[in-house]
């Protein structure tokens, strides 16, 4: 059963700054990514409509944003600011 769980829900090693909130957010981010992948496959296979997939992904995104805010993780630099 553990092998099946690891196959269906793989986890990658965290390589960022080790803080509890970063580790929790990383786990949430990996789960978001995995679920979006499943939704995309269901939509591509015709099992759900494009609108259903959009709404599901939108809901997952809102959950991820809420998690980010609740964990108090500061936003990184704006990529446009780095462009110079």
* Residue 52 covered by a domain: yes
Cβ contact 12:6 at 8 Å: no
Domain count, the chain: 1
* Residue 77 covered by a domain: no
pTM of the predicted model, to two decimals? 0.74
The CA distance from 21 to 25, in Å, is 6
* Residue 15 covered by a domain: no
Cβ contact 25:73 at 8 Å: yes
Summarize pLDDT for 25-77 with one digit per residue, the tens: 999 999 999 999 999 999 999 999 999 999 999 999 999 999 999 999 876 65
* Residue 35 covered by a domain: yes
Residue bearing tokens 């990514």? 33
Please tell me the predicted confidence (pLDDT) of residue 83.
59
State which residues form the domain around 61. Answer: 23-72
Please tell me the predicted confidence (pLDDT) of residue 17.
81
Structure tokens at 66: 């809420």
């Amino acid at each position: 059963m553990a092998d099946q769980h690891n196959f269906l829900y793989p986890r990658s090693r965290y390589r960022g700054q080790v803080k509890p909130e970063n580790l929790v957010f990383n786990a949430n981010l990996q789960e978001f990514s995995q679920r979006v992948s499943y939704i995309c496959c269901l939509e591509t296979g015709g099992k759900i409509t494009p609108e259903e997939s959009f709404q599901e992904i939108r809901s997952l995104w809102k959950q991820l944003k809420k998690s980010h805010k609740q964990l108090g993780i500061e936003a990184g630099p704006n990529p446009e600011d780095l462009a110079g």
